Amino acid sequence: MNKGFYDGYHFRVGDALFGALALIAILENSIVVFAIGGMVFDFGVASFSGTIAGDIKFSGYNRY
C-alpha cells in the first residue's frame, strides 16, 4: 500500500484508533465489535475520503 502518502502524525493517530478498537473487542470478548471495526477500516481504505477520519482509518488499517 502507499504508506508514503500519509505523514507520521496520521500513522500515530491511526495506530491509537486501531488499538482502541482491538482493545474494546478483547475486553468485551466480542467478535462482532472486532468485525465492525474491520469493516470501518476497510471502508476508509476504499473511500479515500480525504478527511481526517478517512486518513486515520486508512493508516490504522495499513499499519496492521
* Enclosing domain of residue 26: 15-63
What is the residue-level pLDDT of the chain in tens, covering all 64 positions?
455 545 554 556 666 777 777 666 666 654 444 445 455 544 444 444 444 454 555 544 544 4
Query: Is 6 inside any structural domain?
Result: no
Cell digits of residue 39? 469493516
pTM of the model as a whole: 0.27
Q: Domain tally for the chain?
A: 1
Query: Is 26 inside any structural domain?
Result: yes
Query: Is 10 inside any structural domain?
Result: no
Q: What gap in Å lies between CA 6 and CA 55, rounded to an integer?
A: 8
Query: Is 9 inside any structural domain?
Result: no
Q: What gap in Å lies between CA 15 and CA 17, rounded to an integer?
A: 6
Query: Is 22 inside any structural domain?
Result: yes
Coil vs helix vs strand at 7: coil
pLDDT of residue 20: 74
The CB density around residue 19, as the number of other CB atoms within 10 Å, is 13
Query: Is 34 inside any structural domain?
Result: yes
